[in-house]
Amino acid sequence: MVLDNFEALAMLSAVLAILILGTTNLKTNLVFYSLHTMVIAVETAWIGHITKEDHLYWVALGVFVIKTLFIPFFLNWVIKKVEVDSDTGAFIAAPLSMHLGAFTVGLSYLISNQIPGLVVDLDSRIASTAAMSILFTGVLLMLTRRAAISQILGFLVLENGIYLFAVTQTHGMPLLVEMGLLLEVLVAVMVAGLLLFNIKKSFEHIDVSQLTELKD
């Protein structure tokens, strides 16, 4: 089976998301996240080109500026401030996590075959598989990593999976809705970054598995 550009971009974004699971270095994770999100922005613009929906170009630009450039830059700044370079306490080793991520691609394909009513004018089956794989990758990041930065990254990847599924299956929501969602993600990340400073100050670490321990 030969993938067209629509499907290939979706699968590339899923592969880049899985690569995040393959390393515990936080800065490398952000590089993969930035590339993964950039591909989703290109996918959005490509859908706009196919469907002649001009507002999707603006959505793609918003995704690129906010989620590909600003959020990784902001989180890199947070990493420098809290002086944590790696998620050393991951519950599952990075190579095993990456293999689990690859396994979810097959699982996502099986699930997508059971979803009725997918768009049929383009072969969106592969796109839905990629989107669900990204969603599972985000969940794996949140479940297997201990650093709060990794938890934020897992949330962002999960949100990308939901977004990719929506944009590939519906070919875009109204511009106001799309930009509102981007603004919500931006605010959530900035609030989470500020909370990290307080966590670091109060507990002297950002290991979420230890936040149940009270400190006077």
Range with top average pLDDT, 18-27, 28-37, 60-69, 88-97: 28-37
pLDDT of residue 15: 94
Residue 132 banded pLDDT, cuts 50, 70, 90 = very high
- Region 128-140: mean pLDDT is 91
Query: pTM of the prediction?
Result: 0.81
Neighbours of 69 (CB within 10 A): 13
Residue 66 banded pLDDT, cuts 50, 70, 90 = confident
Pick the residue with more confidence: 140 or 174? Answer: 140
Nearest to 53 by CA among 177, 171, 178: 171
pLDDT of residue 19: 93
pLDDT of residue 40: 92
Which residue type does 102 have?
A
- Is residue 5 predicted with pLDDT exceeding 70? yes
Q: Are 14 and 134 in contact (CB under 8 A)?
A: yes
Kindly report, residue by residue over 151-189, the tens digit of the pLDDT. Answer: 888 888 988 998 888 888 777 666 556 665 666 666 666
Which residue type does 191 have?
V
- Region 117-124: mean pLDDT is 55
Query: Picking from 41-45, 152-156, 191-195, 203-207, which range would have the lowest pLDDT averaged per residue?
Result: 203-207
Query: In the predicted model, what is the mean pLDDT of the chain?
Result: 78
Tokens of 97: 């996590």
The CA distance from 111 to 77, in Å, is 38
pLDDT of residue 42: 93
pLDDT of residue 6: 76
pLDDT of residue 3: 54
The CA distance from 94 to 98, in Å, is 6
- Is residue 191 predicted with pLDDT exceeding 80? no
- Region 110-121: mean pLDDT is 68
Residue 121 banded pLDDT, cuts 50, 70, 90 = very low
